[in-house]
Structure 1
Amino acid sequence: MSYPVAYQLYSSRNFPPLEAQLPELKAMGYDAIEPWLPAYEADPAAFRRALDDAGLGCLGFHMPLRGLVEDTQRFIDIALTLGASVMIPPYVTPEEREPTPDYWRSVGERLARGAEAAARHGLTVAWHNHDFEYRPLSDGSRPIDHIFGADDAVKFEIDCGWIVRGGADPAEELRRYADRIVAIQLKDTAPLGTPEEDGWTATGDGIIDWTALVPLMQATQATHIVAEHDNPADWRRFASRSIDHMRALGLAAMKDAA
């Protein structure tokens, strides 16, 4: 089973101009871009035109949790302009985080309010994890489980690399949240403590056993997969090696069929 493949544009933030990369990504076989704020913020319509010109779509985009709650309609309008179906808050800052179940339940409740508003426009809201959601609280519970305990309308873009960094098992999380997962980031990590490229690698070059995860991915509700690297030295190498490995796994269409 193959999926549409998106490229998280955050991976290329250090290699402007970003729009010049779009035709290259299309030529590699990518189907879509997953942009992050502020890449699309100045002029969402112009960003959409650049995607259209390159033959790329936008399946989902990253946005602030605060924006989902306090500026809901603006971000819904951005989603509709970009043609995205999934709105993805990915982060709360360390200053905002509180080490209590109540705080993390409140994150889930805010996501649920945004999801209710988004659903009226045919849109989905999905949380994107980092490592901190997998660090146990003092009572032994995990933030991620409180986030998703509030409302099953809140979906999940699962980032496998950050799960490993958080000390958890991607296989178990793919099983646990199979019915919530709408997108899968195949982010790979080098052995923990590796300094080069902040310890991230192209998909298939790190320590994650992707072959073992493929059946679990295919048992989720995911509609697409995503390549991301937080600090590549060479974005082209990362992008090409990642999609090639996704093809080798059978998760992405072969290039000549793309």
Structure 2
Amino acid sequence: MNTSYQLYSSREATPWEDVVAHLAANGYTQVEGFGGVYADAPAFRALLDQHGLKMPSGHFFPLGSFEGDFDKSIAAAKALGMEVAYVPAPEDLWRNGTDAANWIALAKRLEEACKKVNDAGFRFGWHNHHWEFMPLPGGEIAMELILEHAPSIEWEADVAWIVRGGGDPMAYFEKYKDRITAAHVKDIAPEGENADEDGWADVGHGTLPWKDYMAALRGNGVNLFVMEHDKPSDARRFAERAIASFKTYGGHKP
């Protein structure tokens, strides 16, 4: 199975030539893009090709990337050889606390964007943070509203953010096993540790039961697993530890 890496994790460890070479040398076969690498998409594609890496998925923020900036976003996706594009986060209105009506409105925009992206030859989905799992004023859960009112989109489940939002990952894996097509593999440090890394941990060096998560996700047919750390103090260390741990969880098979 291929192992992917969210390049956002290495945004402070550039130049990208060194990052990509290091990832390839450590066994990664794929990367996931973000806005920081799309400025010259053909050149970045050439860098990936040089090291035998592919970019099947990418993050595009904000949702307007597939509304007013649709042509620009699709051009980048095509140049980089992507198969699926994800919107990685909501904008400030939704982050700062809002109601179900606004989440439903966002979901309807996602559904419309999905139709356009699908027509352009790509799959389309949403990547969660913690906001989507924190109960709204009426008790609703935003992630459930998104999936209900945007029935065509896929879900890239960021498991650690589900936990930080108070959700139960295994319950969501079961309930939405037909919608989750990819997962971010990240870890949470023990309480009070890794304050300089916002409480995150390298995969396999935190508190999450990734062996159990991997078994459930693989059982549901998920085959895109993306290593990520939101704020690593040493991105090279993280990349090395993450893929080593991932192999022990059954995520990587010859």
Interval of TM-score (by shorter of Structure 1 and Structure 2): over 0.9
1:6 aligns to 2:4 (yes or no):
yes
- Summarize deviations over 1:194-227 as a string: whole Å, max 9, x none: 3131111111111111122222101334231000
Deviation at 1:73, TM superposition (A): 2.4
Please report the RMSD computed on the Cα atoms of aligned residues, expressed in angstroms: 1.5
Which runs of at least 4 in structure 1 moved beyond 4 Å after TM superposition? none
Partner of 1:235: 235
Aligned residue among 20, 32, 35 for 1:34: 32
Pairwise mapping of residues 165-204 of structure 1 onto structure 2 (< 5 A)? Answer: 165-194=164-193, 195-204=195-204
C-alpha separation in 2, matches of 1:181 and 1:143: 16
The residue matched to 1:38 in structure 2 has which SS?
A: helix
Contact 1:118–1:125 at 8 Å: present in 2 too?
A: yes
Contact 1:165–1:192 at 8 Å: present in 2 too?
A: no
Q: 1:192 to 1:66 in 2, by over 3 A?
A: farther
The residue matched to 2:152 in structure 1 has which SS?
A: coil
C-alpha separation in 1, matches of 2:237 and 2:156: 24
- TM-score by length of structure 2 reads 0.94
Unaligned runs of 5+ in 1: none
Unaligned runs of 5+ in 2: none
Partner of 1:69: 67
Partner of 1:78: 76
Deviation at 1:193, TM superposition (A): 4.4
2:58 is aligned with what amino acid? F
C-alpha separation in 2, matches of 1:193 and 1:124: 39
1:16 is aligned with what amino acid? T
Aligned residue among 56, 60, 66 for 1:59: 56
Q: 1:248 to 1:7 in 2, by over 3 A?
A: same
Contact 1:156–1:182 at 8 Å: present in 2 too?
A: yes
Partner of 1:108: 107
The residue matched to 1:58 in structure 2 has which SS?
A: strand
Aligned residue among 91, 94, 102 for 2:92: 94
The residue matched to 2:19 in structure 1 has which SS?
A: helix
- % identical aligned pairs: 35
Contact 1:180–1:220 at 8 Å: present in 2 too?
A: no
Pairwise mapping of residues 130-169 of structure 1 onto structure 2 (< 5 A)? Answer: 130-169=129-168
C-alpha separation in 2, matches of 1:113 and 1:27: 40
C-alpha separation in 1, matches of 2:123 and 2:20: 25
Deviation at 1:15, TM superposition (A): 1.2
Contact 2:30–2:55 at 8 Å: present in 1 too?
A: yes
The residue matched to 2:149 in structure 1 has which SS?
A: coil
